[in-house]
Structure 1
Amino acid sequence: MESSSSWKALLLMVFFLLPLLAQGMTRHYKFDVVEKSFTRLCSTKSIVTVNGQFPGPTLYAREDDTVVVKVVNRVKVNVTIHWHGVRQLRTGWADGPAYITQCPIQPGQSYVYNFTLAGQRGTLLWHAHISWQRATVHGAIVILPKRGVAYPFFPTPHKEVVLVLAEWWRSDVEAVIDEAMNSGRAPNVSDAHTINGHAGPVSGCASSAQDGLTVRVDKGKTYLFRIINAALNEDLFFKVAGHQLTVVEVDATYTKPFTTDTLLITPGQTTNVLLTADQGAGRYLVAASPFADSPLVAVDNRTATATVQYASSVSASAVVTTTKPPPQNATPVASSFVDTLRSLNSKQYPAKVPLMVDRSLLFTVGLGVNPCATCTNGSRVVADINNVTFVMPTTALLQAHYFNTSGVFTDDFPGQPPIAFNYTGSGPSNMQTMNGTRLYRLSFNASVQLVLQDTGVIGPESHPIHLHGYNFFVVGRGVGNYDPKTSPSKFNLVDPVERNTIGVPTGGWTAIRFRADNPGVWFLHCHFEVHTSWGLKMAFVVDDGKGTNESLLPPPSDFPAC
């Protein structure tokens, strides 16, 4: 009798626990935002960090877990943290961009970010989302599959390695952008690229000779590299000497696997690759180098390096096999990588591409020039979407939307360019833009097609565009002007890659589709921080649907005040 009762109790416990396990666990983290001194490139400077680390700590969780992060601001400036690529279903209060979804966390204050990783697995990025703090305040988000769920088409790797690519300035980055904004000119470029905070040997800097990352591998085993571009202003190529890389995931969505020797990763994007240690004993150079195919753009042309070292190579002075990065303007290499990406589109992970479109939008993205009495030459370089240079509010847009506060924003953002012209040509003679805090309103569950068109105003250049709160499907891209009559005939509506950040090619266009099934206010902006500072940003306001499950949750009790 006692044995039978015990079994019944156990079965009842399992019956009640299984739904809880299916919902995921709650993971608690604490982020202390503090200053700490680091020595890089023969110089020492104090930077803003999380928990004194550069890059910051990696946040680990599983699909469908709830993540609770208490962020405590122990520095003298305002801070926010954005969980880049997290869908934030109905939890826009935890998204993080300053004055868009929240007021900043002021010095001495704290804020608890609470969100669920619903239906996501792979690699994402967290970073500061105010001014240029992202330069040093960033880290990885690793979302493992649910317990008992294997990777979809490849065996569990021997080991997983997080690689965060970034930039390093010898000077204070806030001073760099402040000087640029005051002068009206472009800011100085960085002094080096880094891999997990290390630049590798840098010419002219003796103390950096040993400043490199080493990834140790065993011959015959396969490794999963989780690669993140946290750089402020530069697209980056990534290569490992002597090795092929098999792409299996981008932006926390699985892809059809393909093999390449060179990756392209724009700021904000992530890429997971498999590397099999199939070479002879030795040390193999890892390289992260810039990609920029516009003559308009100045970049930091230093290549960050790390080393893949086979365990049998006991000597650190073993022969190093080097790799030659692609030329800085290697457009064919970049385009080949982007064009090869496809969604996995399996039964378990389908590509739910909207086939019908409720809203068809065309957004031009580019630069302009506005008058500035206090600036050099009496003018200021600005950036815009559909000729609107975004003006940041002093009240959080999500807060104004939720409480129906008037006077903070308007919902009349133009869905088409106000004036049609040859977008990739020389551009109009009048390069002045309009200023405004203008949003575009979408009804709940509307299907949206958005074409992002680069312009030749001042000069063409690429733009990594990030949409908060959503994943989208990249259904098409091309060079020149988008043609609404002919371009859609080449769209991929079967297995287009699913992302949260996409590069608009220099002098070209990219078309994306998504379903507006997440109520709130969602930022859309260039992930080159200089362009965001200049005003290349806007936001969608997505209305509530029917019932509480389609409505924005109320703000938390500790929501920061502006």
Structure 2
Amino acid sequence: MKLLLFTLPFAFALLLASSFASGAVVEHTFNIGNFTVSRLCNNQVITAVNGSLPGPTINVEEGDTLVVHAINNSPYNITLHWHGIFQLLSAWADGPESVTQCPIRPGGRYTYRFNITGQEGEWWNANVVDVENNATETGLGPVDSDAYTINGLPGDSYSCSQNQTYKLKVKQGKTYLLRIINAALNEQHFFMIANHTFTVVAMDASYTEPYNTQVIVLAPGQTVDALITTNQTLASYYMVFTPYHSNPNVTINGNITRGLVVYDNATTASSPVMPNLPAQTDTSTAHKFYSNITGLAHGPHWVPVPRHVDEHMFVTFGIGLDHCNETGPNACGGLNFRLSANMNNESFVLPKGLSMMEAFYRNVSGVYTRDFPSNPPFVFNYTDPALETNGTDIAFAPKSTKVKSLKFNSTVQVVLQNTAILAVENHPIHLHSFNFHVLAQGFGNYDAKVDESKFNLDNPQIRNTVAVPVGGWAVIRFQANNPGMWLVHCHLETHLPWGLAMAFEVENGPQPWVLPPPPADLPQC
């Protein structure tokens, strides 16, 4: 069986090479800098790791210690956030700017350390930093990307990209393990290979019961491990990513990107076979995939669902508005408001001058407050479709930097409730530092009297990013056993700077469960 990965610009792949403990120290240096690549008939300067597109693959085994020396040779502030199969040896290595560390400044360096425990991207014909800065300045969303990529290649569905198509060469009668990573910034995606069926065996680096499907769905930041058996006739078959567009009223890049699965000795006379793709608005197919997979109970690294809950939270979230107090020709796109987002009617703002983690460690006040509400400030019909056009009276939320403080080792259950204010979408919510059990998910307003009976307490899927259904809800449960400051946010990139985030402050436990001192090379703000 062969393992293959799909990755993207400014990304790298982490391979768990074996299920047997090794105990070796694996050390890598990441030189982060700018270089020029040619895509879509344009030369574009991008920021990447070690001058490669896609980025490097790291081979490690379970039980290894991974040490990554990050050297910032780019002109931009840089942080690295890590998803997957490792445990932080230091809470200071999680990565999000202003939360667990200040950014690595140009010319600076920082070392990340992990224990190993068990992509497809987007392309702009523009400098992505300029794209982000323009969105921040106007208060509107960023311009749509020009293409999607598979392992950094747009594929032959784009003009001027016929010779930039990812090709996977396979032998007939073999089984291949694909590690599929959605590293797009703003779109969820369906993934298919014509005439082939996937067997999903892991999601977000946690084992699942084998699940057979012809279509895989991934939100940004999510990963899926799936087996395919090359049991078709000798030919070429398209692998295709097409966006899952949960709200047709929200503008996205609606293009697809294609790669090729090419059988050895296949004839080149016929055109590659295309899969029968779902409609980009096919929420039922997306929900079936997201909700039907279960965890591999009693398998390797299985964690049973904690049955006693110490903290119950009900968190609403969605898009909103903020009053525009800026001046200038591009301020807020000429409007008197700018787009915003919130959780429980609090629109999160990253602090300046000191990271939240360092403020927690040093007991510095004024960086954040500990009064993030456990429930929304008022109750309404959260998923009323009329809110998309008539919800402006409740769309404004105050800006704040609020956290929810948790006792060490407490069990937390969170109802994540989507709202329809201004735009109802499927939002992928990512929790840093912890995996969580997804107990249930559904559409409409969560009703504990009805929906608690749907909880899967035996073998729910374990994830670190849950795609909360469009106009719906999801219930997650986790154990707060890692002291520190941990961000919770929507993994649609445009929504985080708007404020669709909050943070958990997990208090220290008994030794050795205490936040250690910051490392000597921790970047300073």
Deviation at 1:307, TM superposition (A): 0.5
Question: Does the 8 A contact of 2:86 with 2:114 survive in 1?
Answer: no
Deviations 1:471-521 (A, max 9, x none): 000001110011122211111111100001110111000100000011111
- Distance, in Å, in 2 between the alignment partners of 1:50 and 1:349 is 31
Say if 2:164 is the partner of 1:211.
yes
In structure 2, the residue matched to 1:83 is: 82
Show the 5 A alignment for 1:221-300: 221-300=174-253
- Distance, in Å, in 1 between the alignment partners of 2:169 and 2:499 is 43
In structure 2, the residue matched to 1:193 is: 148
Say if 2:290 is the partner of 1:338.
yes
In structure 2, the residue matched to 1:500 is: 464
Flag the 1:265–1:210 CA change in 2: closer, same or farther, 3 A.
same
Q: Secondary structure at the match of 1:486?
A: helix
In the alignment, residue 190 of structure 2 is paired with which amino acid?
Answer: F
Q: Secondary structure at the match of 1:83?
A: coil
Question: Does the 8 A contact of 1:41 with 1:202 survive in 2?
Answer: no
1:510 pairs, out of 469, 474, 481, with 474
- Distance, in Å, in 2 between the alignment partners of 1:27 and 1:213 is 29
1:165 pairs, out of 120, 126, 136, with 120
Question: Does the 8 A contact of 2:89 with 2:113 survive in 1?
Answer: no
Deviation at 1:430, TM superposition (A): 2.9
Question: Does the 8 A contact of 1:284 with 1:322 survive in 2?
Answer: yes
Relative to the length of structure 2, the TM-score reads 0.92
Count of residue pairs brought into register by the alignment = 494
1:384 pairs, out of 312, 322, 342, with 342
In the alignment, residue 78 of structure 1 is paired with which amino acid?
Answer: N
Question: Does the 8 A contact of 2:88 with 2:113 survive in 1?
Answer: no
In structure 1, the residue matched to 2:403 is: 439
Q: Secondary structure at the match of 1:44?
A: strand
Question: Does the 8 A contact of 2:93 with 2:100 survive in 1?
Answer: yes
Q: Secondary structure at the match of 1:320?
A: coil
In structure 2, the residue matched to 1:451 is: 415
Say if 2:134 is the partner of 1:176.
no
- Distance, in Å, in 2 between the alignment partners of 1:313 and 1:88 is 43
In structure 2, the residue matched to 1:393 is: 351
Question: Does the 8 A contact of 1:446 with 1:516 survive in 2?
Answer: yes
Q: Secondary structure at the match of 2:494?
A: helix
Deviations 1:416-448 (A, max 9, x none): 001111111134523210111111100001001
Say if 2:274 is the partner of 1:322.
yes
Deviation at 1:23, TM superposition (A): 6.5
Flag the 1:504–1:271 CA change in 2: closer, same or farther, 3 A.
same
Deviation at 1:41, TM superposition (A): 1.3
Say if 2:365 is the partner of 1:406.
yes
Deviations 1:155-210 (A, max 9, x none): xxxxxxxxx1111111122222222222222221111111000111134x2x3111
- Distance, in Å, in 2 between the alignment partners of 1:282 and 1:348 is 37
Question: Does the 8 A contact of 2:22 with 2:61 survive in 1?
Answer: no
- Distance, in Å, in 2 between the alignment partners of 1:23 and 1:420 is 52
Deviation at 1:459, TM superposition (A): 2.0
Question: Does the 8 A contact of 1:286 with 1:307 survive in 2?
Answer: yes
- Distance, in Å, in 2 between the alignment partners of 1:45 and 1:67 is 32
- Distance, in Å, in 2 between the alignment partners of 1:59 and 1:411 is 38
- Distance, in Å, in 1 between the alignment partners of 2:501 and 2:173 is 47
Deviation at 1:79, TM superposition (A): 0.5
Root mean square deviation, CA, Å: 1.5
In structure 1, the residue matched to 2:12 is: none
Give aligned-pair identity as a percent.
42
Deviation at 1:373, TM superposition (A): 3.3
1:489 pairs, out of 440, 450, 453, with 453
In structure 2, the residue matched to 1:546 is: 510
- Distance, in Å, in 1 between the alignment partners of 2:87 and 2:317 is 26
Question: Does the 8 A contact of 2:483 with 2:506 survive in 1?
Answer: yes
Question: Does the 8 A contact of 2:104 with 2:523 survive in 1?
Answer: yes
Question: Does the 8 A contact of 1:516 with 1:542 survive in 2?
Answer: yes
- Distance, in Å, in 1 between the alignment partners of 2:486 and 2:48 is 26
Show the 5 A alignment for 1:1-40: 22=21, 24-40=23-39
- Distance, in Å, in 2 between the alignment partners of 1:285 and 1:100 is 41
- Distance, in Å, in 2 between the alignment partners of 1:524 and 1:391 is 13
- Distance, in Å, in 2 between the alignment partners of 1:90 and 1:393 is 25
Flag the 1:347–1:497 CA change in 2: closer, same or farther, 3 A.
closer
Question: Does the 8 A contact of 1:90 with 1:520 survive in 2?
Answer: no
Report which of the two structures shows the higher radius of gyration computed on alpha carbons: 1
- Distance, in Å, in 2 between the alignment partners of 1:185 and 1:113 is 34
- Distance, in Å, in 1 between the alignment partners of 2:367 and 2:22 is 38
Relative to the length of structure 1, the TM-score reads 0.86
- Distance, in Å, in 1 between the alignment partners of 2:61 and 2:432 is 21
In structure 1, the residue matched to 2:55 is: 56
Unmatched 5+ stretches in structure 1: 1-20, 121-163
Deviation at 1:365, TM superposition (A): 1.1
In structure 1, the residue matched to 2:7 is: none
- Distance, in Å, in 2 between the alignment partners of 1:468 and 1:180 is 25
Q: Secondary structure at the match of 2:47?
A: strand
Deviation at 1:42, TM superposition (A): 1.7
